[in-house]
Amino acid sequence: MKILGIEHIGIAVKNLEESSRFWNEILGIEFTATDDVDGQGVITNIYDTGAGKIELLISKYPDSPIAKFLNSRGSGIHHICLQVDNIERAIKYLSEQDVNLIGNSAVIGAEGYKVIFIHPNSTGGVLVELAEKKN
Ligand code: ZN
């Protein structure tokens, strides 16, 4: 498996408007997309610095993983996403290394990427997303 770079940093927020003001208006990072990822119960607002994105996450449902995160830890960094060249190879390799993946196979995440998450208990406490971009 090959890591191609940091794709984005996911930040859980309670108030999208307030957070957008900071990232977009104050810092001037270009807003590029809103994505409704219903399978994960989340709406994402994506801002592209040109060298890595900021993904603001708000919960769609009171029992979604983002809602649980916000309830227990408040707003803040939720995950980092690394781009991989081939997610199937990454899943196979990490499984062989006894790394704990969340789920057994890749799902379609924001921007249509194929994604899988690595459990924080395998990474030193950070939720890590792997993403393969479609060609
Ligand atoms: Zn993400």
Tell me how far the alpha carbon of residue 98 lies from the centroid of ligand 1, in angstroms: 23
CATH 3.90.110.10 assigned to domain 3-132? The reply is no
- Segment 67-93, tens digit of pLDDT: 999 999 999 999 999 999 999 999 999
- What are the residue boundaries of the structural domains of the chain, listed by start? 3-132
Question: What tens-digit pLDDT sequence spans the chain (135 residues)?
Answer: 999 999 999 999 999 989 999 999 999 999 999 999 998 899 999 999 999 999 999 999 999 999 999 999 999 999 999 999 999 999 999 999 999 999 999 999 888 999 999 999 999 999 999 999 986
Cα separations in angstroms, 55 against 9, 16, 74, 93, 107: 6, 11, 16, 27, 18
For the whole model, what pTM was predicted? 0.93
Tell me how far the alpha carbon of residue 80 lies from the centroid of ligand 1, in angstroms: 7
Residues with CB under 5 A from ligand 1 (ion): 10, 81, 129
